[in-house]
Amino acid sequence: MKHGYKLIFLALLATSPVRADTLSAALAAAWARHPQAAALGAREGEAQARAELAGGLTPGPATVSLGHLNDAIASNRGRQEWEVEMSAPLWLPGQQAARRSEAASAQEALNAQRAALTLELAGEVRAAWWALADARQARDLAARRTATAQALEADVLRRYQAGELARVDANLARNEHLAAEAERVEGETALAQAEQALRALTGNLPTTLEAEVAATEPAPEHPGLTANAAAIQAARARLNATRHSRRDAPELAVRVLRERGNFNDPFANAVGVKLSIPFSSGPRVRMEDAAARAELDQAEAEHAQAGRRLALAADQARRELDAARQLLETGGLRRELTADTLRLAEKAFALGETDLTALLRARAAAFEAEALYHRRQVALTAAQSRLKQALGVLP
């Protein structure tokens, strides 16, 4: 007796290799769309400008002032006075070196922040990637179950019409087909949601999905810890710059004066120099110093906390990976067992040795084991990605 649903289900049980587009390409596409990518470009320009300012001859731009005085409105005796003054701020002792160090530290912190943000985005892409893989597996399985249920219904209906089976068997086969169709629709809906999540990150969808190579060693420099360390260095440089800027910059001015007393007097020229030294403001110094100290303390605390958190995350990811391997192994054994039981049930049903209810139970167990096996396949690859994420390794 021919049973089309048997051939379809056996094809379902066959394991097919999974090929994929690369996660690294997906990460690159996600980075190109990330809102903070453009902002980091602007911040790089800011850091470069800060470095140029710290390398200047003066801490700020020079100023020029022009003044004129005459008695044309009053006595009109020909008195005139012209004054030109050029002034420039001066670096305080040690201030320029401190500002240069601050600018360099800010640039390093920005680069480290970029790497940490890239790793964080990689975690989002990995999660969406394997959610899509799981949804595709579930959709494919539901579609195949629908196809086998349809073939079973056609076979049972034929035998019912021939008088070999009761009407209740035809109803059971129809119910199985409807349940499989409902599961297929749910799978399509879940797949559409998973596709939307990944498309929102990368702008496109991969045709196939492949697993990452498992990693057990952390990255030479974990981007998260590197970003925290760079933040500490930047905070220290900012505190040092604050301590070398306890007053406003002194100002040196050169004055050129040209004047006469009346129409009969010749013009006389004079040159002068002026040095302005602002007083230090105690409250302002304490305020700036306290703010820089608070920023440094926070950066150091965050670095210590990040180290503990990342170590725990790596340990947990390793345990999850070991558990995923064990679960996949037991799932494979259960899959083989239920597939063999289904083959026996199909043969017994074809020979009339068992009823349709027993066959449907065997089918349900086989489909459940098959679905669980595919979920655990995806869970294993996702666990490998989570371990690489915890170790700071990019795709």
> What pLDDT is stored for residue 189 in this prediction?
94
Tell me what pLDDT residue 197 has: 93
For β-strands 251-260 and 268-276, DSSP reports them as: antiparallel
The tens-digit pLDDT sequence of the chain (395 residues) is 444 434 434 444 443 333 337 888 899 889 988 888 878 877 888 888 888 888 888 888 889 999 888 887 878 887 888 899 999 998 888 988 988 898 889 889 999 989 999 999 999 999 999 999 999 999 999 998 899 889 888 988 988 888 888 888 888 889 989 998 999 999 999 999 999 999 999 988 888 887 787 776 777 888 988 989 999 998 999 888 888 888 888 899 999 998 887 878 888 888 989 888 888 777 877 887 888 889 888 888 988 998 899 999 999 999 999 999 999 999 999 999 999 999 999 898 888 888 888 888 888 889 889 889 999 999 999 999 999 999 998 88
Kindly state the tokens that stand for 265.
Answer: 């007097």
Distance CA 108, CA 237 (A): 12
Question: How far is the C-alpha of 87 from the C-alpha of 342, rounded, in Å?
Answer: 94
Query: Amino acid identity of 304?
Result: A
Other CB atoms closer than 10 Å to residue 84's CB: what's the count? 13
Domains of the chain: 4-12+22-390 (1.20.1600.10)
> Which residue has tokens 């001015």?
253
The pLDDT score that the predictor gives to residue 315 is: 92
Residue found under tokens 């980091």:
40
- Span 207-226, pLDDT tens digits: 888 778 777 677 788 898 89
Distance CA 192, CA 265 (A): 94
What's the alpha-carbon Rg for the chain, to the nearest Å? 38
Summarised one tens digit per residue, pLDDT across range 303-334 is: 899 889 999 999 999 999 999 999 999 999 99
Partners of 81 in the β-ladder: 69, 259
Residues with Cβ within 8 Å of 44's Cβ and at least 6 positions away in sequence, in order, are 107, 110
8 Å CB contact between 254 and 273: yes
Query: Of 214, 213, 209, which Cα lies nearest the Cα of 322?
Result: 214
- Reading across the β-sheet that carries 63-70, which strands appear in turn? 63-70, 80-89, 251-260, 268-276
- Backbone CA torsion sign across 135, 190, 313, 229: positive
Residue 326's pLDDT is 94
> Scanning the structure block, which residue is given the tokens 């340990």?
315
What is the per-residue pLDDT for 267?
Answer: 84
pLDDT at 14: 41
Q: What's the rounded Cα separation, in Å, for the pair 214 and 195?
A: 25
Count CB neighbours of 276 within 10 A: 13
Q: Which pLDDT does position 80 carry in this prediction?
A: 87
**Taking a C-beta distance cutoff of 8 angstroms, is the pair 87, 253 a contact?**
yes
Residue 289 has phi, psi (to 5 degrees) of -65, -40
How far is the C-alpha of 311 from the C-alpha of 242, rounded, in Å? 35
* Inter-CA distances, 188 with 5, 14, 46, 142, 182, Å: 22, 22, 48, 9, 10
Return d(Cα 206, Cα 156) in angstroms, integer.
Answer: 40
d(CA 100, CA 392): 31
Instruction: Note the helical H segments in the chain.
Output: 4-13, 23-33, 35-54, 95-161, 167-202, 223-243, 282-350, 356-390
Rounded CA separation 28/206 (Å)? 13
